[in-house]
Chains A and B, each alone.
Chain A
């Protein structure tokens, strides 16, 4: 009985690992935000002078 429970548990861990690796899950809460399109497309928005220079 215990062995069966363990097999199920081990299979779940394996599946969880594969899914998390494929989906790219990470531990911890990511800091997520949103930049409106108006800001993204307006000059002086997040695309600075350096952006157009390719960072060089």
Chain B
């Protein structure tokens, strides 16, 4: 790195511009902002003291990133956007180039310089719109704001006076890429930085030793200025607000716990207490804040509770409880979500509900300037067990109609037992109410394969029927029975003993009678008698056929044939006794008798197929009922409430 030495215009102390392209340096002696203007330097005024943040970095730290020349942290800029402060570290590389390392809420983003393509002016930017940035790809505008140059140390690549408002837009691109459009004090973009989230290990940096010594989430003990109740700051340097758990007052952490709002005694009874620690996704999180929010849809108010989780090295996550259904919620890069189809990682999410979520109650501490009544526009999309949520914050500080910030998050459904186990909570979790929007259906994934398996099983039954029909159905007796003319049905001559019938294999025996009856009936009292054992199976059958015509046309009823099955007939020699009855005056001339052995019945095959198909039908019905319950409170109910009633 080339160096440039100058004297501070304020105190004449030596000021070094280690980076050739640096335009501003903060005098280490008097704190003046010294700007390079060609060969001269100018005093831009005193720089305020650094705002205490939980930074783990320090000027002078050296590292290396992705094969680039070694770098050193040569400058630190603190920006305040009104609801919080973050640090931007200037990375000065050995070849004289530079990049930004943004540090906020325990997360780091490397942002390198990139050619600036034509982009809309600051006033024309709309949060959520996509911008083609050329080689880096298409990005989504996630945030458009202005931030105040709050403080700085070391050197900076631009020369503006401390206290200046600087406009910027943060964009999110595919594959976790991030970009920042720097508008400076004007409306036209001046610079583009593109990068991604990194870890300190990626940069070859080690956290400051004093940070290493600080146990994770150990709180700083304070007292509420209103009720003197003990307070614990569990995310020192990160929290902006604390809602006193004793008196409910909302306190400003950045201004020595100034009372912002004297709220009523907190009305939240969190299921997971403040300060509870639990291991989820392999990380031990601490519950540092609890917030109750609600959305009102068609006059109905839906409430849920959000638990803010914190871990110094992983930042913040949320544990959300709604009607005793739980979710673990992680922030997403807006650029990774295609808002047009709500697609994330190639998967499409179905729109569930939109609304305006309002903060009703708060407890504990928060990393933003939370306020009761704070409202954001929300859109929820589901693909169980995940829920994709979009929150749009409208900027009321004059940026423009659609200014503000868009945040996407991904919630993953958690069984209550997992939460209870993670946080070692006493007892058992309360029973969930209804079906959660992204609760995995116990029937999803089971229905399709079961239908396939049922189809295969039904086909196998049909094939078995065809196979058995081909093998069985052997005719063992056939006879034309003639009845003597004028015989009475009670006369012995009317009774027939057919046989001998030889049954060679165990199975059923089919007795089929075909009689030429017309508007008459023939009743047969039958018995299949085993001549060897005397075992007898009795049955009866009736042939009945009527036909004619009336004012509606011709009609017919019944049939000239009748069939009966004798079950489980063992092999042997048999006689078939048939004793007839008929209507007086309608004596039939005779009938044809056919006896077959081992006749598979299609009705039983059909019954078996129905038994197999009943399972997927039942599973589909249960799946349907589950989904109806899921979508009943969405913007797209499957059945209307009147239909449900």
Instruction: Give me the interface of A with B, judged by CB distance under 8 Å.
Output: 2-3, 6-7, 9-11, 13-14, 16-18, 20-26, 30-37, 40, 46-51, 55-56
**Closest B residue, CB atoms, query A40:** B534
Contacts of A46 in B (CB 8 A): 497, 529, 575, 577
How far does the alpha carbon of A46 sit from the alpha carbon of B527 in the complex, in Å? 11
Query: CB-defined interface of B492-519 with A at 8 Å, one 1/0 digit per residue?
Result: 1111111000000011110000000000
Answer whether residue B539 sits at the interface, using C-beta atoms and an 8 A cutoff. yes
Which A-B residue pairs are the 8 nearest by beta carbons?
A: A24-B508, A26-B567, A51-B497, A24-B507, A10-B457, A55-B496, A17-B608, A31-B538
User: A47 CB to closest chain B CB, in angstroms?
Assistant: 6
Are B461 and A13 in contact (CB-based, < 8 A)? yes
Instruction: Give me the interface of B with A, judged by CB distance under 8 Å.
Output: 446, 449-450, 453-454, 457, 460-461, 464-465, 468, 472, 479, 481-482, 492-498, 506-509, 527, 529, 531, 534-539, 565-569, 575, 577, 598, 600-601, 604-605, 608, 611-612, 615, 619
Specify which of A9, A31, A40, A48 is in contact with B615 (CB 8 Å cutoff).
A9
Specify which of A2, A16, A30, A55 is in contact with B567 (CB 8 Å cutoff).
A30
Are B537 and A30 in contact (CB-based, < 8 A)? yes
User: A53 CB to closest chain B CB, in angstroms?
Assistant: 8
User: A41 CB to closest chain B CB, in angstroms?
Assistant: 10
Are B568 and A16 in contact (CB-based, < 8 A)? no
Contacts of B461 in A (CB 8 A): 13-14, 17
User: B465 CB to closest chain A CB, in angstroms?
Assistant: 7
How far does the alpha carbon of A10 sit from the alpha carbon of B608 in the complex, in Å? 9
How far does the alpha carbon of A18 sit from the alpha carbon of B466 in the complex, in Å? 11
How far does the alpha carbon of A45 sit from the alpha carbon of B612 in the complex, in Å? 49
Contacts of B497 in A (CB 8 A): 46-48, 50-51, 55
Are B492 and A48 in contact (CB-based, < 8 A)? yes
Are B454 and A10 in contact (CB-based, < 8 A)? yes
Q: A10-B612, A47-B497 are in contact. Are A17 and B464 (CB under 8 A)?
A: yes
Are A32 and B537 in contact (CB-based, < 8 A)? yes
**Interface pairs (27), CB distance under 8 Å:** A3-B453, A6-B615, A10-B453, A13-B612, A21-B464, A21-B600, A21-B605, A22-B507, A24-B506, A24-B507, A26-B568, A30-B539, A30-B566, A30-B567, A31-B537, A33-B535, A33-B536, A33-B537, A37-B534, A40-B529, A40-B531, A46-B575, A47-B575, A48-B492, A49-B492, A49-B493, A50-B492
